[in-house]
Amino acid sequence: MTHKFQSLVIIILIGLLAYIFVTPARQIYTVNFVSDKNLEVGEELIYVVSYTFIKFGEIKIIVKGKKIIDGQNYYSTIAYMDSYSGIPFVNLHMIYESIMNPKFYSTFFRGIVKKEEYTTFTEYYTDYSKSKIRIKKGKVKPYQLWTDSTTSEKQEFQDGLSILYFARMFSGSGKSVNLLCFVNEKKSNTYMTSYTQVSGVSIDALDYDVSCVRLDGTMNFVSVFGLTGYFEGWFSNDEASIPIVAKLKVILGNVRVELKSWKRPGWIPPKYKKS
């Protein structure tokens, strides 16, 4: 396997959740909307990542828990990104964790990258009341702390995992938003637009098309390993707003991320009905 293909694998598994988009001409702003979507603790979604006809990895996303603070819900989530065994020269295993406030902005983030030699971690501790983000980076087993610093930020922001859940709550609203993000210790922004039009989306796991609404955006900044340009995703057209399919652009072409299996009590993917 060439170094170029190995880099491509890294692009996809990291890039799906680490949205680092910059749109310099746009002012960062927030949007006020009331979502009819909801999360379920214990929800588990598994996705297959493919480039052309090659399937080389999976992503598992879980809603771990919920805490009620002052009558408001704070959700904790985790994502596991793993390449398949047997792919020559590729052995990728990463974990993202995020805790989100009631508006689905980040209050805590942890990223873990498991390498052959050692495992690294990155953690962001956010205190919006003091406009501070504490950044810790290092190695585990044996533990080494490489960085322990702070930066200032008054505005609420998204991390590499929380933004996925914000998109779920935002889908179908028919609005646009430009969100502040803090990823890879850099401040940037994500511009996305949601649509209300309903369409059918086909996946291998079902023998019918899923009723979905679409969301898209543009990456004008070149992210890790070349993730850039236009992206789009389709979410189930119901209160669960489950991500069904995503398409991302990388240096060598387009990547597809498709829902493979799910665990959510009582949830059945809505069937698309032509009008």
The torsion angles phi and psi of 163, rounded to 5 degrees, stand at -65, -30
Beta bridge partners of 202: none
Q: Can you give the pLDDT at residue 22?
A: 31
Band (pLDDT 50/70/90 cuts) for residue 19 is: very low
- The total number of structural domains in the chain stands at 1
Chain position carrying tokens 């959700």: 75
Q: Can you give the pLDDT at residue 124?
A: 97
By C-alpha distance, which of 106, 123, 104, 110 is closest to 78? 110
**Rounded Cα–Cα distance for residues 83 and 68 (Å):** 35
Q: Can you give the pLDDT at residue 181?
A: 87
**Rounded Cα–Cα distance for residues 195 and 125 (Å):** 33
Band (pLDDT 50/70/90 cuts) for residue 1 is: low
Range scoring the smallest mean pLDDT among 25-34, 58-67, 158-167, 232-241:
25-34
* 271 assigned to some structural domain: no
Question: Cβ atoms within 10 A of the Cβ of 240, count?
Answer: 20
Residue 14 has pLDDT above 80, yes or no: no
Residue 141 has pLDDT above 90, yes or no: no
pLDDT tens readout for residues 92-131: 788 999 999 999 999 999 999 998 889 999 999 999 999 9
Structural contact between residues 74 and 107, judged by C-beta atoms closer than 8 angstroms = yes
* 190 assigned to some structural domain: yes
**Rounded Cα–Cα distance for residues 76 and 184 (Å):** 20
Range scoring the smallest mean pLDDT among 87-91, 92-96, 266-270:
87-91
pLDDT tens readout for residues 161-183: 998 999 999 999 999 999 888 88
Structural contact between residues 47 and 58, judged by C-beta atoms closer than 8 angstroms = yes
By C-alpha distance, which of 5, 16, 4, 76 is closest to 224? 16
The amino acid sitting at 119 is T
Structural contact between residues 161 and 243, judged by C-beta atoms closer than 8 angstroms = no
**What residues make up the domain containing 104?**
3-263
* 146 assigned to some structural domain: yes
By C-alpha distance, which of 1, 11, 4, 28 is closest to 190? 28
Regarding predicted confidence, which is higher, 225 or 211?
211
pLDDT-above-90 percentage for the chain: 60
Residue 25 has pLDDT above 80, yes or no: no
pLDDT tens readout for residues 226-263: 556 678 999 999 999 999 999 987 665 688 999 999 99
Token duo for residue 110: 């942890």
Structural contact between residues 80 and 59, judged by C-beta atoms closer than 8 angstroms = yes
Regarding predicted confidence, which is higher, 206 or 19?
206
Structural contact between residues 209 and 271, judged by C-beta atoms closer than 8 angstroms = yes
Structural contact between residues 60 and 79, judged by C-beta atoms closer than 8 angstroms = yes
Regarding predicted confidence, which is higher, 98 or 17?
98
CA of 6: how far to CAs of 11, 17, 112, 116, in Å?
9, 18, 19, 15
* 205 assigned to some structural domain: yes
CB within 8 A of 22, min separation 6: which ones? 188, 189, 219, 220, 221
* 269 assigned to some structural domain: no
* 231 assigned to some structural domain: yes
Q: Can you give the pLDDT at residue 23?
A: 34
* 273 assigned to some structural domain: no
Structural contact between residues 15 and 190, judged by C-beta atoms closer than 8 angstroms = no
* 270 assigned to some structural domain: no
Residue 11 has pLDDT above 60, yes or no: no
